[in-house]
Every structure is written in structure tokens, then in C-alpha cells.
Structure 1
Amino acid sequence: MKLTLLAAALTVLSLGACNTKKETKAEGLADSTKIVSLSGAISEVLAGTGLEKNIVGTDITSNYPESLKAKPKVGHNKNINAEGIMALQPDLVIGIKKDISPALAAQFKTAGVKLLLVDQEFSIHGTKHLISTLTDSLHVKPKGDSLIKVLDADLAKVKMAAKKPKVLFIYARGAGTIMVGGTGTQVESAIKLAGGQNAVTEFPDYKPLTAEALVKANPDVILFFDSGLQSLGGPDGVAKIQGIKETNAGKNKKIISMDGELLGSFGPRLGIAIQELAAKIN
């Protein structure tokens, strides 16, 4: 029991200069508790545990379930404006620890708003940890356990090929912004879980796409977010990018795309995302 209470206290830490009882102790939620969620994955967990009715605002990545699109948006989770959040008069703000700066945390503290921050790791374990930490802190653990059981069942349905195809993820926002994904990204983690391997391992994060790097990587599959593929004019537009036709993916017309929020959120739908990606790359 003591260990359980200690774990709960440690997971509800803010990034303020000093930790007060208000910031570090999660209490049972009243029906009137107003929540602002600053992560699509967190919003999905809240909705999946019956707390969607308490959400009064979200970041722009919180679009599932569909009903969340109608909630007021407070910006991107990596560029949050405190004033927009405070205008919603929340009782509790929930976010990913690495996305909340000390300055932003201090603003919430000064305003007397409780802040609950959780870690996020882009892995199966990380997703389960996010769900369990969040639901434990909000005192809806049985519902969190149910979400994890569904996640396990979804992951069990993933069908991977014996040979690992080389997958290149390209992030695009029109022809003027085309980046290639290196190591350490959430998309790379998803590719590996789906039975593929990252075609680019020479650098971390993202770098501008060049024809030389594309040909050198020679992916078997090229992966986009749906929005990115559309911004380039679909597969026909991608085929016009210099170097594409020289790759195995270009020759075999193996250009695929997925919903970006589904693929990258690493929330309760992770198993569904990996099922879809595995089917498409294999």
C-alpha cells in the first residue's frame, strides 16, 4: 500500500520551482471538475474512461473520438499559450511532462490550477504506463485496466512478415517542406513494432530530404501521413520527387500513408495503428 501511494505521488509532479501539495496530490474528480488536455493520447484515455464530459479544452492533436473535435482548442501541445487555457477556467490541466516548460508550469501554479504531468515513451510499455499512471492518478484504475486489456488484444492481432522491409518515413507539408525521418522518432518505433526497419539510421530526428539520401536509403516502402501525401498531390505527385523512381519503393509503387494522429500518438489505439501499418508495409 505504501509503495502504491509513493508511486502515485511521484507521477503527479509539475515542473514548477517547488512542489506544493496541490500540484503533487491527485484527488478524486468531482463531476464538475473541468479538465484541459494537452495531448491526443491523454485525451483518448480520458474519453475511454468516461471522463470526456469533464474536458473543456484540448490541444489540436486531440481529435479522437470524433466528438473531441468540437472542444475548444488551445494550440499545439509543443506551443501552448497559458492565457488561452486560463480563459477556459480549468480545475486541472493534464499534459506530457517533456512538453510543458518550467515557465508554463509556473503560470499554472500562480493561477492556482492543478497540473498533472505524465511521462510518454514511444513503446508498448510506454503506452501502458501512460494509461495506468493517468488512470491511477484520476482514480479510475479499473477502467484503465480495461483499456490495457483491449490494447493487448489489438496487438495480438498484428501480423508481421518474416522479412523486415526497409521503410522510409517522409514528413511533408507541400513541396516546400519535405523531411525524412531518422532514428528516435515515434514513427520509427511504430515501424519496428509493425515488423519493418527504418531505412535511415545515419541521423536522429528529421532532416530535409535529398535525392542522394533517398537513393542511398533505397527503401522498400515509403510511408507518409495522409495529410502529407495529399499535400504532394498523392502517389503521382510523390513519383515526381527526384530520386523516388530509383528506389525499390518507387519501382514497385509501394507508397503508403496513414492517419498521423493514429500512427504517432501511442495512445489506447496503438494496437489498431500497428495492425494497419503492418498490413500496409508487408
Structure 2
Amino acid sequence: MKNNKYLFFILMIVMAVTACNTADKQSSINTEKIVSLDGTLTEILCELGYEKNIVGVDVTSSYPESMNKLPKAGHNRNVNAEAVIAMQPTVVIALEQGMKPEVAEQFKTAGIPVVLLHREYSLQGTRDLVKALADTLGKPEEAARITQQIDTDLAALPKYDTVNKPKVLFIYARGAGTMSVAGTATAPNTMINLAGGINAAAEVDGFKPFTAEAVVRENPDVILFFDSGLESLGGAEGLLTVPGIASTNAGKNKKFITMDGQYLAGLSPRMGKAVVDLAALIHDKPATGTK
């Protein structure tokens, strides 16, 4: 009888430990009402099945289309904390690079949990971000599906000339008075390299103000903008009036290309497709085959 009681006691302990281990694999985060403060995080959340749980976003969250109908909380680097709190979220999800400490403290004071994730602007950085968010929300198996899709999309990238690569300069513009070029450790740099181009501003670390002298020296074959950036300069004709531009190969050939900002620089689950689309725009010669 005593042995039976002892075995029963051991069985209960084993069941309790098993239950705890199972619970550890589940997320303790309440995802009923999510506010996402980064466009890439928003895309990943939707891929993970939380599209209907998102009640508010920042202005970079433009995809999928349903996100454009949600309340906005400002730019991810200049969040309106009061607007977010008014949305009564059960969790706020953001990038640690973009969240100001004082804003995070406001959320904490309001009793709103905040999930902050780190990211690097690279293909591996995107894989890591997807995995980190999926793991945080208790959906680790979904990360593999999303990253596999990125790899599948990239596999469709044709082979281009690897010797005479086009020099591509990305310019971030908000009118002629606010222009900067993207160097290393930036999303445009990653995309240009993956698409088979050379970043004309590779010697720059991060973003640096545009100068006529530098653009003439770098002499890009292609100049790349966000759609809104080139528009802010008055289109191609307006760009040619910017000092230095007309003297470059890109200016002489009017090789100016644009892409949607989040699609190009989000490094999101759509990253593979965006690389293929960018490659088609920057290369003059047709592909020599597929990988």
C-alpha cells in the first residue's frame, strides 16, 4: 500500500514537471490587442496570423493593405505615446533601436507590456528577427516557414554579370533641402548588394548628407529612391537640377529608379521578392540564366 502511495506521488511530480515544460513553450503575452510600431514587425505579425489582432500601427506599417485602415501612432522613431495608450493595447511590439526610453517608460507606467526586439540590416538579420518574434509569441515552428519563403524567393534571382556590376546610389530625400546617401549598415546597402549591384557610397558608414562633390566622385550608374523621395524632388526633371546629378552616369542616362519604401528597405518577409524586383531595375543587361 505504501509502495502504491509512493508511486502515485512520483507520478504526480512527473505530470507536474511535464505540464510546466509544456507551458514554457507557450507565450505568456496577451496578443488580444497588439500595437505594432515598425513596418517589418507588422508584416511578420501578419505572417504569424495576428493581422486581426493588430489595433494600431506606426506610419511605416503600410503592408498588408488592411494596416492602412488602422489608427496611426506616428513614426516608429517619434511615437505618440498618448495615442498608443488610448488604443488600450494588451501589448506593444517595437524595435529597441526605435523606442525612446521615455516612451517605453510611459507604457510601463500605463501598465502596458512592451516587447522590444533587436534587428540588423542584413538577410541574416531578417531571419533572426522573424525567429525572435515567432519564439516570443510561442510560434517557433512558423519562423521556419517564413524564412524558407524568403530563401525560395531569392532562389528566383537570375544570374547577372558579376564583373561589370552597376554602381547604385540610394538617396533618401524629403525635398532638395533634405537629402542623404546610404552607406554600409543600412537596408538599401543590403538590398543593392543582394541584387547584384555595388553601393556607390560603400565608404560611408550609415547615412550621410548628400553633397554634389561626393556624388560626382562616386559617379553612380543608377540612382535609387523611395517613390516618395523622387516625387519630393519634382521627379526626374527636378532631380537633374540638383547640383552634381547631371554630371553622373545616372544623370546622363536618366537612370533613376524608385521603389516603395517599406518594400525596398523593410527587409521583411517580402525581402526575397523585393531583391528580384530591384535587380530587374538596376541591371541594363538581361539575365544570363537562373540559379
- Cα distance in 2 between the residues matched to 1:214 and 1:123: 25
Deviation string, structure 1 residues 69-116 (Cα, Å, up to 9, x no partner)? 001001110011221111111111101112123322222222221111
Q: Pick which of 49-58 and 249-258 moved more.
A: 249-258
Residue aligning to 1:14: none
- Equivalents in 1 of 2:149, 2:185: separation in Å? 27
Deviation at 1:167, TM superposition (A): 0.8
Residue type matched to 1:123 in 2? S
Secondary structure class of the residue paired with 1:67 = helix
Post-superposition CA distance 1:136-165 (Å, at most 9, x none):
111223333221121111111123521321
Q: Does 1:208 align with 2:179?
A: no
Bigger drift between 55-64 and 191-200 goes to 191-200
Secondary structure at 1:99 match in 2: coil
2:44 touches 2:269 (CA, 8 Å); kept in 1? Answer: yes
Letter in 1 for 2:199: N
Kept after mapping to 1: 8 A contact 2:168/2:223 = yes
Gaps of 5+ in 2: 1-20, 284-291
| 1:38 and 2:37 aligned | yes
The one-letter code sitting in structure 2 at the alignment partner of 1:178 is M
Deviation at residue 242 of structure 1 after TM alignment: 2.2
Count of equivalent residues = 259
Give the match for residue 129 of structure 1. 128
Residue 113 of structure 2 aligns with which residue? 114
The 8 Å contact of residues 95 and 116 in structure 2, kept in 1 or not, is answered as: yes
The CA RMSD measured in Å over matched residues stands at 2.0
Supply the distance in 1 between the matched residues of 2:204 and 2:46 (Cα, whole angstroms).
37
Question: Take 1:91 and 1:203, find their aligned partners in 2: how far apart are those partners?
Answer: 41
Partner of 2:276: 275
Shift of 1:118: 1.2
Q: Which residue of the partner structure matches residue 187 of structure 1?
A: 188
State the percentage of identical aligned residues.
50
Question: Normalization by structure 2: what TM-score?
Answer: 0.83
Q: Are 1:169 and 2:170 matched, yes or no?
A: yes
Write the distance in 2 (CA, Å) between the matches of 1:160 and 1:178: 32
Question: What residue is the counterpart of 1:17 in the other structure?
Answer: none
Higher-Rg member (1/2): 2
Q: TM-score, normalised by structure 1?
A: 0.86
Q: Please tell me whether the aligned partners of residues 167 and 221 of structure 2 are also in contact (alpha carbons under 8 angstroms).
A: yes
Contact 2:93–2:115 (8 Å) recurs in 1 = yes
Structure 1 unmatched ranges of 5 or more: 10-24
Cα distance 1:56–1:117, how it changes in 2: closer, same or farther (>3 A)? Answer: same
CA contact (8 A) 1:167 1:199 kept: yes
The answer to whether the Cα contact below 8 Å between 1:183 and 1:205 also exists between their aligned partners in 2 is yes
Q: Does 1:153 align with 2:152?
A: yes
Per-residue CA deviations over 1:43-66 (Å, capped at 9, x if unaligned) read 001111221111010011001000
**1:56–1:71 contact (8 Å) kept in structure 2:** yes
The residue that corresponds to 2:232 in the other structure is: 231
Q: Which shifted more, 241-250 or 204-213?
A: 204-213
Give the distance between the partners of 1:57 and 1:186, measured in 2 at CA: 25
Answer yes or no: is the 8 Å Cα contact 2:73–2:84 preserved in 1: yes
Moved beyond 3 Å, runs of 4+: none
